[in-house]
Amino acid sequence: MYLSAANHRIPLSDGNSIPIIGLGTYSEPKLTPKGTCAKSVKIAIDTGYRHIDGAYIYQNEHEVGEAIREKIAEGKVRREDIFYCGKLWATKHDPEMVRPTLEKTLSVLQLDYVDLYIIEIPMAFKPGDEIYPKDKNGKWLYHKSNLCATWEVECHPYFTQPKLLKFCQQHDIVIIAYSLLGTSRNPTWVNISSPPLLKDELLNALGKKYKKTAAQIVLRFNIQRGVVVIPKSFNPERIKENFQIFDFSLTEEEMKDIEALNKNVRFVEMLM
């Protein structure tokens, strides 16, 4: 399949399609300055991104919606050009809660629809006002628990997920990779003992060969496997750089060499 900066959608099993690279918008609400997310989304759209990955739990969907609407008003894009993925939080899994929760997301975004709406994490927490409900002993309060068109999972050269990728390909499920370049290494939710991916010798050697960064090599590796990538960045230059992955290809041998880097290491350890 030929992919380019102008045309980089891949098909989904339901007849729709998804851009193979998107902008991740996760942020720490208390640490991220107001307006940072909106600015980054606007830069991403100007760069050529058409896929924006957001979530209610990120607490910045109002900025994402503002940026998308501004770019539509400028005539830079049409709403149908943008693929927005929203997420259902773990306390809202009951069927009767899904529609009102989605409608709240749409109200915050000030958009008429989202293109993809997925479950944020597979664990269902007890419904209520608490985002992370726990009992008096500090234990998680779980709630009750099917195949989808997409699965968003951690996937990168140190955690290549070969069995899951094969399973998903057999069932026409598209994998979306998060934390594919590593993470902010926040010790509250990240395994900080994990090796820093972007310092890997092979990835940097390939970057030197193709005049690319290690991050661009990682992104290209995943899209050549048919994995959708959503690198998060609020850095204008990195947002643009992460999109420049359609002007080169890795050889079959190089793909195998990168696959051999697998250490079965997760960066994100959500021990819930």
Q: What's the gap between Cα 140 and its chain centre?
A: 25
150-191 tens-digit pLDDT:
989 999 999 999 999 999 999 899 999 988 887 666 666 667
- Tell me, rounded to whole angstroms, the distance of Cα 167 from its chain centroid: 20
CB neighbourhood size of 165 (10 A): 18
Spatial distance between the Cα atoms of 270 and 191, rounded to a whole number of angstroms: 10
**pLDDT at residue number 272:** 43
* Contact of 254 with 206, CB cutoff 8 Å: yes
Instruction: Set out the domains of the chain in order of their start, with CATH numbers.
Output: 13-259 (3.20.20.100)
**Bridge partner list, 125:** 142
Write down the pLDDT at residue 148.
Answer: 78
Q: Name residue, tokens 């926040």.
A: 186
Distance CA(85)–CA(64), nearest Å, equals: 11
The confidence score (pLDDT) of residue 145 equals 55
pLDDT in tens, the chain (272 residues): 789 999 999 999 999 999 999 999 999 888 899 999 999 999 999 999 999 999 999 999 999 999 999 999 999 999 999 999 999 999 999 899 999 999 999 999 999 999 999 999 878 888 988 888 888 898 888 886 556 789 899 999 999 999 999 999 998 999 999 888 876 666 666 677 778 899 999 999 999 999 999 999 999 999 999 999 999 999 999 999 999 999 999 999 999 999 999 999 888 876 44
pTM here is 0.71
Q: Which residues are catalytic?
A: 58
Q: Is 122 exposed, middle or buried (0-12, 13-18, 19+ CB in 10 A)?
A: exposed
Give residue 82's pLDDT.
98
Residues 6+ apart with CB under 8 A from 152: 118, 175, 176, 177, 178
**Interstrand relation of 9-11 and 17-19 (parallel, antiparallel or unpaired):** antiparallel
